Structure 1
Amino acid sequence: MPVLTRLVPSPLVVDIRAGALQDLGAVLADQRLSANGRIAVAASAGSGARLRERLSPQLPGADWYTVPDGTLDAAVTLADQIKKGGSYDALIGLGGGKIIDVAKYAAARVGLPVVAAATNLAHDGLCSPVSTLDNDAGRGSYGVPSPIGIVIDLDVIREAPDRFVASGIGDVLSNISACADWELSHRETGEPVDGLAVAMARSAGETLLRHPGTIKEDGLLVALAEALVLSGISMNITGSTRPSSGACHEMSHALDLLYPERSREHGEQCGFGAAFASFLRGEREVAGQIATTLHRHGLPVTAAQLGFSAEEFAEAVQYAPQTRPGRFTILEHLDLDPHAIRDAYSDYVKDITAGLAG
C-alpha cells in the first residue's frame, strides 16, 4: 500500500524564549545557515539600531544595513545594497513587522534565505510568505519565500510598546473569521479548502481567544509568538493568505487605502474587522467572544475607538471587496448596500456594547 506524504514548508529553527538573541550567532552556525559568519543584517532605525551594539560581538563578520521604513522603495534599495556588499549566507531582519517584510522582499530579490528576528509581535508577517509594503499606489502585498528561521527574544519583546504586542493578538484572532469566510466560500462557490491550513490557523486564533493571561505575562507572550508562527505556516501550506485573511483583512486594507493618514495598526483593524464580520455571518456569540478578548487587551471593538465615524467605516466596508478581487467572503456573499451596512453596524455596536456591559 503506497504511503502518501505531504511536505509542509516551515522554518528550520523557531527559537522563542528569554535571551534568544544572545545565542543568535550560535543558532546560525548550528543550523548551518552560516558557517563562515557572512551575514547581512537589515535593522530598523529604532529597536534594531539599539540592539546592534549588543549583537555585533556575536556577528563579527556581519554587514549592517539600516532600513528607514516599510516601503517598496526601501526594500529595493536594501536588495541593491546587499548585491554590492558581497557574498552573504543569509539576511537577518531585525526589527518590527515592517522591517521584516522589507527584509523578506529584499532577500527574495537577491536569492538569500532570511531569518526573522522580531522585536515586537504586531502581526503574523514574521513567518508568512507575504511582504506588505507601502508603494505609490498605497500599499501592496508581494509573494516571497517565508523566513528560514524565527528568533523571538522575550526580553526584547517586553521592551516593545504594549500596543504593538496587543496588535498581534488582534491579527491572530482574525484567523477565526478568515477561516469561517473560507468555509463559506467552499459552501457557496465550491472553492477548495485546505483542512490542515484551517486547523493550524483556527487553532492559533482560538488559543488567544481563550488565553487568560495579559501581555505583561510570559505565558501569553509565548502563546502569541507561537500562534503567529503557526499562522504563517498555515499560509505556507496553502500558498496564499486565505487561512488568515478574509473580510476582516479586506476591511483593514480598505481603511488603509481610503484613509492612509489615519489608519491604525494592522492587527487593531483586523481584530475589529473579525468581530464585525462574524456578526455579519450571524455568529453573534463568536463576535462577542472576539470583542470581549479584544477589549480585555485594550484593542478597539468599534469604528469610533479606531478613530472613524460610522459613515466612514460603512464606506470602507462597501469598498473592501475591491481590495481582494476574486476572494469570496461574507462581504461578497451579502453584497450589502450603504444603507444596509450602516444598519448592520448599528446593530453590531448595540449588541457588542450590551455584551461588554454585561
Structure 2
Amino acid sequence: MASPPSSSSSSPSSSSSPPAHLMELPRKILIGERVVSQLGAFVKSLGGESKVAVITGRIVKKRAGSACKSSLAKAKLKGRWYTVSDASMDTVNRLYSRIREHDPDFVIGFGGGRSVDVAKMTAFRLERPFLSVPTSASHDGISSPFVSVRGTDKPHSIKANTPIGVLADTRLLAQAPPRLLAGGCGDLVAKITAVRDWELARDETGEYFGSYAANLAYMSAKIILDESEKLKRKDMHSVRTIVEALISAGVAACIAGSSRPCSGSEHLFSHALEYVAGSNECGLHGERVGLGTIMMAKLHGLDWELVARTLENMGAPTSARQIGITDEQVVSALVKAQSLRPDRYTILSKVKLDREKAYELARSARVIVG
C-alpha cells in the first residue's frame, strides 16, 4: 500500500524547531458492551456535579434514551434532553440560548455524527466540558476537537474542544444501520492520503510534521486495509475494532493540534462535493471521503485499487453513481476542492487539476464511468 510516515525530510526548514501547540486529549475512554448503563457514574468520575444537558436525535432517544436516563438518575444527575435534526450553526445557536438558561455543568452528545458535532460545538460556546457518547461509528469526530456544521464561514471542519471523555457502547453501535459503519471505514482509509498530503506539505513548504501523530493515524487506516476481509462480517469484534480505530484517529488529531493527520485532499473533495451537489444530496461524509481517497491515492501513486477493494469489502461505495452523484459533479468538485482551503498544501496544490485532468482521474480510478 504505502510505507509508514517518515520523520525525515529534504526540506531545508525541517531542522527548525516545531511550533508550539496545545494538546488536549480525552481524559477517559470507556468502551464495551452495555456500558451505557455506566454513563452516570462515568460523568461523575469526570467531574459532573448535578445538572447535565443531553443533546441527541429523535430516533436515538427513542431507541436508547431510557438506559441513558436511568443511569443518570441512578447517579443523582438531573438531565435535560434536547433533540436535534440537523448539524448547523442555526441549531447550535438555538441550543445555546436554551441550554445556558439552565446552566448545566456538563454537556453530553448522545447519538450519531450530527448530535455529537452539535453537542461539541454547543459545549464549546457554553464553556462546559463535553462527553461524547456515539451510537454510530460513522467518523472520527467522536474523539477529536473538530466539528462539521453548516452555516459557518469555513467550508471545512472547524475546531472546538476535545471531548473530556468518550463512552462507546459497542452493542448500541452494532445496532446502527450498516451504512454508517461502512462510512466510518471510508473516513478511516482517508488517513492514508491525509498523512501523505501532510508529508508532501512538509517536503514542499517546510510545514510542521508530527511523525507520532501521523503514524497513529496511518495505523488506524492500515488495520482496515489489512483486515477488511475479516471486518466485513461486522460482528461485535469488527465493530469494536472500527470504533477503536476511529477513536485512535481522533486522538491523532488531538496530538497534532490540527486535523492534518486525518484530513487532506480527500476531505477537500468531500467538502467541495457538498458545495457542488448540496449537503443533503451527496451521501454520507465517510462515503464522499472514501471516493476522494480512491482518487487521491491514485494521484499520490499509492495502491488505489486496494483502497477501492477495502471500501467494497466494507460495503462502502466506490463509484459516484452509488450515492447519486453525477460525473459532472465529481469533476466540478475535483477542480474546486483546493480553492476551499488554499492554506492547506495537498497533492491538489501540486497537480492543479483542470477539468480535463479531473475527468481523466475520476474515470481512470473508476469513480465515474466516463
Query: TM-score, normalized by length of structure 2?
Result: 0.88
Question: What are the superposed Cα offsets for residues 244-276 of structure 1, whole Å, 9 maximum, x if unpaired?
Answer: 111100110010011114211000111111111
Of the three residues 182, 196, 210, the one matched with 2:226 is: 210
Corresponding residue for 1:25? 40
Of the three residues 284, 293, 299, the one matched with 2:316 is: 299
- Name stretches of at least 5 consecutive residues in structure 2 with no aligned partner: 1-20
Question: What are the superposed Cα offsets for residues 219-262 of structure 1, whole Å, 9 maximum, x if unpaired?
Answer: 21111111111111111112211111111001100100111142
The offset of 1:126, in angstroms, is 0.8
Of the three residues 277, 280, 283, the one matched with 1:259 is: 277
Tell me, in whole angstroms, the C-alpha distance in 1 between the residues paired with 2:25 and 2:129: 13
Tell me, in whole angstroms, the C-alpha distance in 2 between the residues paired with 1:151 and 1:42: 15
Residues 1:38 and 1:137: Cα distance change in structure 2 (over 3 Å): closer
Q: State yes or no: 1:272 paired with 2:291.
A: yes
Structure 2 residue matching 1:134: 3-state secondary structure = coil
Tell me, in whole angstroms, the C-alpha distance in 1 between the residues paired with 2:53 and 2:123: 10
Question: What are the superposed Cα offsets for residues 27-74 of structure 1, whole Å, 9 maximum, x if unpaired?
Answer: 222x2422x332111121121343222221221221222223211111
Matched letter for residue 66 of structure 1: T
Structure 1 residue matching 2:131: 3-state secondary structure = strand
Corresponding residue for 2:199? 183
Report matched runs for 1:111-130 at 5 Å. Answer: 111-130=127-146
The offset of 1:214, in angstroms, is 2.3
Tell me, in whole angstroms, the C-alpha distance in 1 between the residues paired with 2:309 and 2:320: 15
Residues 1:229 and 1:250: Cα distance change in structure 2 (over 3 Å): same
Q: State yes or no: 1:250 paired with 2:268.
A: yes
Contact kept, 8 Å, 2:156 with 2:268, in 1: the verdict is no
Q: State yes or no: 1:70 paired with 2:74.
A: no
Contact kept, 8 Å, 1:274 with 1:290, in 2: the verdict is yes
Query: TM-score, normalized by length of structure 1?
Result: 0.90
Q: State yes or no: 1:133 paired with 2:156.
A: no
Residues 1:157 and 1:317: Cα distance change in structure 2 (over 3 Å): same
The Cα RMSD (Å) is 2.0
The offset of 1:334, in angstroms, is 0.5
Tell me, in whole angstroms, the C-alpha distance in 2 between the residues paired with 1:18 and 1:124: 20
Corresponding residue for 2:243? 225
Contact kept, 8 Å, 2:86 with 2:114, in 1: the verdict is yes
- Name stretches of at least 5 consecutive residues in structure 1 with no aligned partner: 1-5, 354-358
Of the three residues 313, 319, 331, the one matched with 2:336 is: 319
The offset of 1:179, in angstroms, is 0.2
Contact kept, 8 Å, 1:11 with 1:147, in 2: the verdict is yes
The offset of 1:138, in angstroms, is 9.1
Report matched runs for 1:32-43 at 5 Å. Answer: 32-34=46-48, 36-43=49-56
Matched letter for residue 265 of structure 1: L
Residues 1:68 and 1:310: Cα distance change in structure 2 (over 3 Å): closer
Question: What are the superposed Cα offsets for residues 171-200 of structure 1, whole Å, 9 maximum, x if unpaired?
Answer: 011001100111112122221211111011
Contact kept, 8 Å, 1:43 with 1:49, in 2: the verdict is no
Larger mean CA deviation between 72-81 and 113-122 belongs to 72-81
Residues 1:189 and 1:137: Cα distance change in structure 2 (over 3 Å): closer
Tell me, in whole angstroms, the C-alpha distance in 2 between the residues paired with 1:12 and 1:219: 24
Q: State yes or no: 1:193 paired with 2:209.
A: yes
Contact kept, 8 Å, 1:215 with 1:221, in 2: the verdict is no
Matched letter for residue 143 of structure 2: C
**Would you say how many aligned residue pairs link Structure 1 and Structure 2?**
342
Report matched runs for 1:327-346 at 5 Å. Answer: 327-346=344-363
Of the three residues 87, 90, 106, the one matched with 1:90 is: 106
Contact kept, 8 Å, 1:162 with 1:215, in 2: the verdict is no
Corresponding residue for 2:8? none
Tell me: higher relative CO, structure 1 or 2? Use CA pairs within 8 A at least 6 residues apart: 2
Q: State yes or no: 1:16 paired with 2:35.
A: no
The offset of 1:215, in angstroms, is 5.2
Contact kept, 8 Å, 2:144 with 2:253, in 1: the verdict is yes
Tell me, in whole angstroms, the C-alpha distance in 1 between the residues paired with 2:328 and 2:68: 48
Corresponding residue for 2:172? 156
Of the three residues 37, 43, 48, the one matched with 2:61 is: 48
The offset of 1:8, in angstroms, is 4.8
Residues 1:181 and 1:32: Cα distance change in structure 2 (over 3 Å): closer
Question: What are the superposed Cα offsets for residues 86-130 of structure 1, whole Å, 9 maximum, x if unpaired?
Answer: 3x2211111101111100111011110000010101111111111
